Structure 1
Amino acid sequence: MPSDPLDPAVHALLTESFRRLVGRPLEPEGEGGPDWLYRQAPFAVLAHDTGADPRFVYANRAAQGCFGYDWDAFLGMPSRLSAEAPERAERQRLLDAVARDGFVSGYAGIRVDAAGRRFPIAEGIVWQLIGEDGAVRGQAATFPVPADRR
């Protein structure tokens, strides 16, 4: 995936995969586009690649605020580092379920920010990123920004 958060191809992969798998749009009607999703969306969106140790390839500003990393720090960081070690096994079970089922909704868990502070996420949706050619490009997640992270 390209490293530009405003890349239209990245936006299309995120939003079209979400619509196909979850059955509804990621962006509200009348809103949208790469700039809106990256800069203005009031919910977090993150994505990682398909590597053996998946690395983040996208994190919108809302996600950056939650985790305390800027774009450059997020890009290429192993996604497992978004959870503390005890939470990683649960996170891996979730990712395995997403790979099997296409998406999982209602996800909740504990994540850790850049300063090592724990914070809860709830009402999350995690989905496969599937290109028009049918190839899996990674997985993405969205969740409402916790009140103490706004």
Structure 2
Amino acid sequence: MRISIIVLVLLLVGCKSPKKDYDLTFFKWNIHDSYYLKFNSSDTLYCVDSYGFKEETSFAILNKEEKERIEEALGTLVFPKDDTYESPVDDGETNAFVLKNGEESKKLKIHGFSGPKQFWLFGETLERIKLSHEFTKMNKNIDLKEINEMVIMKIPPPIIDTLQ
């Protein structure tokens, strides 16, 4: 009987739900800031400062509570069906999120305080975490192609006047 109880306890302890591996890229742009944050379920938070057309990569180590706060928020965020919410006014702030979990990828771009409030609040949480750390510069390229497709405006081709 004792062996059966021990085996049952070991099975229950070993049957924890698998931990999700998140890969989040966050982008914030306004007149004062332009940066990306990259979080991938480790204790490292990468920052790519792109203000002024530069790209400086740095990192900071998150404490356990910050890491858990980010993971908890990522587990509860509900991405809307539409992936872009923009106000008609060009100034303001833009936040963009690309969340990958395995093969699944979710995207959202919000501008001018339009879009789901939970994403504005999550962006503020990420900014507070960023501001609470001193980042160390590094020479590492962070792949930003997917999020840049959402946030960088494509320059239209020049119009050629063929009537001359």
Q: TM-score, normalised by structure 2?
A: 0.25
Relative to total residues, which structure has the larger helix share, 1 or 2?
Answer: 1
Higher alpha-carbon Rg = 2
**TM (normalized to structure 1)?**
0.27
